[in-house]
Structure 1
C-alpha cells in the first residue's frame, strides 16, 4: 500500500531553527519531492532521490533520537500518503509533531493534534498563484502561518493579506521571515513597527549557527 512506505531524504536530530518552537531540540524527517519551485528554495537537494523506507522504520528512527519534538518537512511532506498515518503514530507516542507545508498542499487530512506550519507564498517566490486559500479553513490557534519575504513588495503583499483576510483571528502565530542574504532583517523590523503589524519576525537560526549552505543540521 502507498501508505506503508515513504521516500525519505534524511532523518536527523538538531534544533528547531524557525517557528515558535525555535531553539528546541527536534528530530527532522525530511521527505523527498516537491511540486513547487520557489525562487529562494534552500532545500533543492530534496527534490529528487531519497530512499524508500517502510513507514514503521521511519517511525522507529524518529523515535530513537529521543527528542520530544518531531517535524515532518521536505520537499513537501503532504505529497506522500504515508505521512498522514506517520504523524498520527508520532502523536500517539506522545511526541509534539510539526508539519512544515507549502500552502499549496491540502491540509484537511492532517491530524488535529499536529501543529501545522503553513507557508503563504509571496510574489517573490514565483509561486504565489499556487496558494490554496481554502487551507485557511483548517488553520487553528495551535497552527502557524509563515511568510518568506524577499523584498518590500513581498512585505506589502503580506501586510495586505494579514489584514484583508484577518489572519490574526485564525491564529496569533503569524511568522515573517526574510530570505537569507536577500532582505535585511532590520528593514523588515522597521516596516513591521511602522505598520504596527501583528506578526512575529523570525530568523533562520540554523543559518547563523552553521554555514548557511550546511545540510542535515
Structure 2
C-alpha cells in the first residue's frame, strides 16, 4: 500500500462546511502549489513525514469518530491522496476533501464530499481556478468563496450566476479573518438574498490559530 507525506493528524471540531461543530479527524497532507495571500497553513507547505496508508488508518481509528477530513496544503498534489480516501471509504468513514479548486477532482470517488474553493481576486491565485471541476460537483459537495473585500464579494456573486452554482451544490461564503468584517458580509448576503451559507471559522474562535485545531 502506498505512502503519503503527512504534516499532522489531529482530532478537533469541524470548523467549516455543513458538518461544522462535529468531532472530526483531520489528515493534513504536506505540500501545496498555490500561495494564497491569506493562507493560514503555510507550515504545511514543506516538511511532514512519510506514512504508509495503513499507519494513517490505524491512527484515525484511534479517535473513534466517523468523520474524517483530508486537507492540506493541497491534498490532491499527492496522487496517493486518492488511494487514501478510497481506503477510508472502505472502512466506512464519512470522508470530506478540502481542496483548492486548482487540482483536477475527476478521480475523486463521488462518495467523498468535496469542499472546493474557488479562489477570489484578493487571494492572488484567481488564475489557478480549474473551472472544469464544477462539472464534477454534486448536491452533497460544497464550493467555498473566501471573501476579503468588496471586489471578492462582487466576483463571487457573479460567479454563482455564471456557473449556476446554487443549482449544483451548496455554497459557502467565508470572511477573511481580520480583513473582511463578518457582520458587513452577513448583511450584504441578506440584502442581496443570496442562496449561500455564511460561515465563520469556528476553530479560530475557539482556539485562535493554534496548530492542530
The CA distance in 1 between the partners of 2:84 and 2:30, in whole Å, is 15
Matches within 5 A, 1:67-78: 67-78=65-76
The answer for the alignment partner of 1:117 in structure 2 is 115
TM-score scaled to structure 1, two decimals? 0.96
Gaps of 5+ in 1: none
Provide the aligned C-alpha RMSD in A. 0.8
Q: Give the Å deviation of 1:159.
A: 0.4
1:214 maps to which of 207, 210, 213 = 210
The answer for the alignment partner of 2:24 in structure 1 is 26
Secondary structure of 1:11's aligned partner: strand
Q: Give the Å deviation of 1:66.
A: 0.9
Please identify, of 182-191 and 58-67, the stretch whose mean Cα deviation from structure 2 is larger.
58-67
1:192 maps to which of 186, 189, 192 = 189
Q: Give the Å deviation of 1:143.
A: 0.4
Matches within 5 A, 1:126-165: 126-165=124-163
Q: Give the Å deviation of 1:193.
A: 1.2
2:179 maps to which of 182, 186, 190 = 182
TM-score scaled to structure 2, two decimals? 0.98
The answer for the alignment partner of 1:41 in structure 2 is 39
For each residue in 1:73-131, what CA deviation from the matched residue of structure 2 results, as whole angstroms up to 9, or x when unmatched? 00000111211111111111111000000000110010111000000000000001100
For each residue in 1:6-60, what CA deviation from the matched residue of structure 2 results, as whole angstroms up to 9, or x when unmatched? 0000001011000001000000000000000000000000000000111111121
Secondary structure of 2:40's aligned partner: coil
The CA distance in 2 between the partners of 1:178 and 1:33, in whole Å, is 24
How many pairs align?
Answer: 213
Q: Give the Å deviation of 1:62.
A: 1.4
Does residue 1:97 correspond to 2:84, yes or no? no
Please identify, of 190-199 and 142-151, the stretch whose mean Cα deviation from structure 2 is larger.
190-199
Q: Give the Å deviation of 1:204.
A: 0.2
